[in-house]
Amino acid sequence: MARNEKEESIHIGFREAITLIVPYFQKKLWLQTKSVVWVVLYLTLFQLIILRIPIKEAGTISIGIFAIILGLTFFMEGLYLGIMPLGESIGLRLPRKVGLFSIILFCLFVGIVATLAEPAIAVLKQCGSTVSPWEAPLLYHLLNEGADVLFFSIAFGVGVSIVLGVLRIIYGVSLSKFLIPSLVVLLCITVYSFFDENLRLVSGLAWDSGVVATGSLTVPLIVALGIGVSKSAQSSDSTTGFGVVTLASLFPIFSVFFVGIYFSSVVPNPMPKEVFLKGGISAQEHKLMFGEKEINFQNGDLNREQTSQLSIHSKISKILEGMGEGFTNSLQAILPLAGCLLIFLYFILKESVPFADELYLGIVFVLIGLSIFNFGIFFGLSKLGSQVGNKLPSSFRSIELTDSIREIQGFNPSIVVKATDEVGTTEEFFYLKEKKSFSQIPYREKNYHPESKLYQYVPIHGPLFGKEENLLGYFVVLVFAFVLGYSATLAEPALSALGNSVEEVTVGTVKKTILIQAVGIGVGIGTLLGILKILISIPLLYILLPSYLVLILLTLVSKPEFIDIAWDSAGVTTGPITVPLVIVLGLGIGNQLNIVDGFGVLSSTAIFPVLTVLIMGLWMERARRQSIAELETESE
């Protein structure tokens, strides 16, 4: 029989294989291009046309954007071929083959390993350099010397949430019994942190971590496990499989808060920069925050690395170094995860999966895709998002373009003149001729080098719409934020997949288009409020507390199926493009405005889609009841 099967097998040559593969690959590549190109074009055109500032390092950013598209194509295809089938197969057999302790141990371990492999976790590692150690010592420590503890705590929180999510499905416990107590405790911790000057600055990071943890790798694996366990449990409730993602976004917040509370007693409190530089911290505190490194903080704004001024050779070396680092990080992340899943399936469950060659190919695709994607994030989207974020405040105030430092050869200080204001404060400046116009440039003595007669200065741009701190400029930024959140959400493939699942599960009661629009509007509102928080320094608590209290109330009066769907909607909207972009955008604005804590935008975007979907569910339920009442009236 085996011989006949071998004789009847179809052999395809290399040319025929390419003919079949290329159209399929082009289709997948175009799918990812559509989800990325709109956001990139929107950011680029907004900076070029509205802010009227050229894009720096456009060539490097273009290479990075292409790498994101190519990486996502391999990554998502690898998830569908390898990681998701593997997760669903394990979830289907898990309750039947092993005991409760083994289930808990497996879910905890998989959650930790999968989260550490998340692309968005790597973006958090970049954020440490944006925090001042004197203004936010605890936040600085967690993102620098304490980063390993921070990331492991986030991963541990996801692991615990997967354990609870799987147990909830097995025992048929409603999501609200986990959700509401967890939210109440989290809000209490946030209120407590608000009155501690160190912990208050960690609140944004904690709430954002819940969103970062539920990314493009973790969510498909969690969903696959949930679906498999749900099928095995044979629950009568068709929506029992939903809700695991929601728990995965909550428990990392607990973990970060607990780590913050632990370290808050051993790091110094915020202090003025002058006090810090003059030895305002003890030797023990210095070692905790900086390790064995000797830290020298520069006072000048001109002592920054200017990538755009590097030689071509240096740029190429930097890109090649980034590619190598991306592959190494991906290898360290994916191999433990895939190895854990395969070992558990083959040796613990003693099962095999059909189409094993596709599964292994999928794992290889995930590895290749994640390597390319990580490179693209660092050299493409992060650079573009940081640029736009840094330039956005120019719509309502004057800003320094620190990435556009200019030099004047043969400068003569005798041309410097003085001006005074109404209170007698003097300011030195000089006139610079540029083409046919003259500009007034502030003079800073530290930027003049007498030996070379070279003067360096940072160009000033804005305000673009009226006077300083004008309302029209703020309005432009808020409209930008809403459109960005709304459009980026509609481009998320995961949201479309959720819409299909919801429409199928609810037998057409909840239409895919209505759900997508509700989620998109919610994310747009959340992004707007998150950016507003940074612009006018609103404490995050003032957004979180009333919003979650309303959500708890709506959850209590909503139907169970809408509760699960609504809370999972927030998880699927924060995809591989949205999360890194929103993080660097918020931090970019915060850096330009000298805001200590630029976090919190992501947590805001995660609240309001839940709110809009729950409101949509209540509205649909009310419409259904009215229709039934009208039919009963007509029948009478």
> Quick one: pLDDT band at residue 636, thresholds 50, 70, 90?
low
Q: Is pLDDT of 309 > 70?
A: no
Give the Cα separation of 398 and 556 in Å (integer).
48
Q: Which amino acid is at 539?
A: P
* CA separation for the pair 137, 265 (Å, rounded): 11
> By mean pLDDT, which of 320-324, 405-409, 554-558, 598-602 is the weakest?
320-324
**Model pLDDT, residue 14:** 59
Q: pLDDT grade, residue 595 (50/70/90)?
A: confident
Beta bridge partners of 430: 441
What is the tally of helices (H) and strands (E) in the chain?
Answer: 24, 8
Other residues' Cβ atoms within 10 Å of the Cβ of residue 128: 18
Res 305: pLDDT: 39
Q: Which residue ranges make up each domain of the chain?
A: 29-293+331-395+469-628, 406-457
Closest by CA to 169, choosing from 159, 182, 178, is: 178
Nearest-CA neighbor of 397 among 457, 472, 458?
472
Q: Name the pLDDT band for 301 (thresholds 50, 70, 90).
A: very low
**Most confident segment among 193-202, 227-236, 432-441, 483-492:** 193-202
Instruction: Quote the pLDDT of residue 5.
Output: 43
pLDDT at 189 over 90: yes
Phi, psi of 225, deg, nearest 5: -60, -45
Cα separation, 541 vs 524, in Å, equals 20
The band of 477, judged by pLDDT with boundaries at 50, 70 and 90, is very high
Per-residue pLDDT tens for 247-283?
778 889 999 999 999 998 888 888 888 888 777 777 7
Sign of the dihedral defined by the CA atoms of residues 196, 202, 204, 207, in that order: negative
CA pair distance 340, 109, nearest whole angstrom: 8
Centre a 10 Å sphere on the Cβ of residue 310 and count the other Cβ atoms it contains: 14
pLDDT at 635 over 60: yes
Residues 381/385/386/388 CA torsion (nearest 10 deg): 140
- The reported pLDDT for the residue numbered 114 is 81
Chain mean pLDDT for the chain: 80
Spatial neighbors of 351 by CB under 8 A, at least 6 apart, are 89, 93, 97, 345
Span 522-539, average pLDDT: 89
The larger pLDDT score, comparing residue 520 to residue 636, is at 520
Least confident range from 81-95, 102-116, 306-320, 525-539: namely 306-320
Exposure of 354 by Cβ count < 10 A (0-12 exposed, 13-18 middle, 19+ buried)? Answer: exposed
- pLDDT (0 to 100) of residue 234: 54
Cis bond before residue 85 (omega within 30° of 0): no
Whether the per-residue pLDDT at 571 is higher than 70: the answer is no
- Cβ(562)–Cβ(237) below 8 Å: no
Q: How far is CA 13 from CA 17, 18, 19, 345, 487, in A?
A: 6, 9, 10, 34, 43
Q: What are the b/e assignments for 542-578, b being 16+ CB within 10 Å?
A: ebbeebbeebeebbeebebbbbbbbbbbbbbbbbbbb
What pLDDT sits at residue 525? 92
Which residue shows structure tokens 């930790």? 112
Q: E strands, 213-294, where?
A: none
The answer to whether residue 166 scores a pLDDT higher than 50 is: yes
Cβ-in-10-Å burial (0-12, 13-18, 19+) of 628 comes to: exposed
The pair phi, psi for residue 479, each rounded to 5°, is: -65, -40
> What pLDDT, on a 0 to 100 scale, did the predictor assign at position 185?
93
Residue 11 has pLDDT above 70, yes or no: no
Main-chain dihedrals φ then ψ at residue 296, nearest 5 degrees: -125, 105
Q: What percent of the chain has pLDDT over 70?
A: 85
CA distances from 286 to 133, 259, 293 (A): 10, 19, 9
Contact of 220 with 117, CB cutoff 8 Å? no
CA separation (Å) from 92 to 89, 159, 166, 234, 497? 5, 19, 11, 10, 21
Q: How far apart are CA 394 and CA 465, in angstroms?
A: 9
> Span 193-210, mean pLDDT?
89
Residues 437-466: what's their mean pLDDT? 84
Lowest mean pLDDT among 398-402, 468-472, 484-488, 507-511: 507-511
| Range from 60-69, 148-157, 324-333, 437-446 carrying the lowest mean pLDDT | 324-333
pLDDT surpassing 60 at residue 360:
yes
- 161 pLDDT band, cuts 50/70/90, is confident
Confidence of residue 308 (pLDDT cuts 50, 70, 90): very low
Residue 176: predicted pLDDT: 77
- Single out the residue of 551, 555, 605, 537 nearest to residue 577, CA to CA: 605
- 461 beta partners: 399
Find tokens 């432009």 and name the residue. Answer: 476
430 has pLDDT over 60: yes
Residue 364 amino acid letter? V
pTM of the model: 0.80
434 or 69, greater pLDDT: 69
Where does the pLDDT of residue 425 fall: very low under 50, low under 70, confident under 90, or very high at 90 and above? confident
